[in-house]
Each structure stands twice: as C-alpha cells, then as structure tokens.
Structure 1
C-alpha cells in the first residue's frame, strides 16, 4: 500500500515523538493502521477500534494546525505516518 511504502522512507522516520524505543509514536501508529487494513471487519478487536478513534482524533487536531506551506513539512510527514495525506482529500 501507499502507507507501507511511505513508512519505509527516511522522511517518515524523521518526524514524531520517540516512543521510547527509537521509533516514533506516529510511525508505530502507521504500522498498526496497516494491520487493521489487512484484517477482515469481523476480525477487528476493541483495541483496533480504539486505535481508529485515536487516529481520527489526531488527524482532526493536526488538520486544525495546518501551516501556510505544508508541503514536505514535518506536519505533512507526521500526518502521513498516521495514514492521512491531506493532498488526497
């Protein structure tokens, strides 16, 4: 997927808060999103639904803080880690 390709880039790994093990929280979120997308709806867990709510909240808050020149910014990269490309909406 596009998200899987993005998460392999240096740009993806260059932004976000460290989760304590060297990987950003947003990067881990992107990996969780990929797992969710690869599941059948009937196999989704309560934790998956909680994560989807977390992603929705993060994206909504982040979109409210859109910079004047968002292209290729940390803001842009962080949103992509969370599975959202503002240019596609």
Structure 2
C-alpha cells in the first residue's frame, strides 16, 4: 500500500464491502450467533470475530488516523468478503452460518 492510489483504492473497497455501521457491528459481535461461527485457535475467539472488532476500531477512526496495519486489515476484509460472497449457498440465508460469518467481517449480504 505504498502509493496514494492504492491506499484510496483499498479504503474505497473497504467502504463498499463493510455495509454495517460501527454500532450495528458492535451489537452483532455481542450475539451468540456471531460467536457461534468461524475458526478459532485453541477454542478462543474466532478469526472473524477478531476481525469484526478491528473493523469497529477502523470505523471509529478519522481517515487521517488509519495506520498501515489498518490498511492491511482493510485489504484482508475485502479479500474475505469477495471470496465468501461468491460462495453464497442456495435458499434462504437469513439464519445461515454463511451470513453470520460475513456479518462478523462487517458485511450483511441481506442489506
């Protein structure tokens, strides 16, 4: 993310992918459904849940305060949302693990 255009590109992609507000995501991350999905190391917090918490921190920042670590996470979010969205299951997804996983990454596919 060394050039200005790549920095603005990743921020634009992140803004498009993350369609939940910070407060929506914070509320979601407190639910049992949120905690029920994702891969966790040693039975701890899942990677997606940790990601959601990082996304909330990013959403609360001013653009000028975004760090290189935040930019790297924004890129990771874009990659995950793009890849996972392409795997949409057939049928009603409202109460699916697929949707819950995406929501942990700040993207509600039903919005």
TM-score (norm 1): 0.95
Instruction: Specify the alignment match of 1:76 in structure 2.
Output: 99
Q: Which of 30, 46, 52 is equivalent to 2:74?
A: 52
Computed over aligned residues only, the root mean square deviation of the Cα atoms, in angstroms, reads 1.0
Do structure 1's residue 42 and structure 2's residue 64 form an aligned pair?
Answer: yes
The aligned length equals 88
Structure with the greater alpha carbon radius of gyration: 2
For structure 2, list consecutive stretches of 5 or more residues without a partner in the other structure: 1-22
Runs (4+) off by over 6 Å: none
Q: Secondary structure at the match of 1:36?
A: helix
- In the TM superposition, residue 20 of structure 1 has moved relative to its aligned partner by 3.6
Q: Which of 64, 75, 82 is equivalent to 2:86?
A: 64
Instruction: Specify the alignment match of 2:14 in structure 1.
Output: none
- In the TM superposition, residue 63 of structure 1 has moved relative to its aligned partner by 0.6
Residues 42 and 8 of structure 1, relative CA distance in 2, 3 Å threshold: same
For structure 1, list consecutive stretches of 5 or more residues without a partner in the other structure: none
- In the TM superposition, residue 21 of structure 1 has moved relative to its aligned partner by 5.7
CA distance in 2, matches of 1:49, 1:21: 28
Q: Secondary structure at the match of 1:86?
A: coil
Instruction: Specify the alignment match of 1:86 in structure 2.
Output: 109
